[in-house]
Amino acid sequence: MIIKVKVKPNSKKFSVQEGDPWIVSLTEPPENNRANLELIKEMSKLYGSCKIIKGIKSKLKTIEI
Strands 22-25 and 15-17: antiparallel
Please count the structural domains in the chain. Answer: 1
Q: Tens-digit pLDDT profile for the chain (65 aa)?
A: 999 999 999 999 999 999 999 999 999 999 999 999 999 999 999 999 999 999 999 999 999 99
The pLDDT of residue 15 is 96
The pLDDT of residue 40 is 96
- Print the domain residue range for 30: 2-64
Taking the C-alpha atoms of residue 42 and residue 22, their distance in angstroms, rounded to an integer, is: 14
The pLDDT of residue 44 is 95
CATH at residue 8 = 3.30.1200.10
- pTM, entire model: 0.92
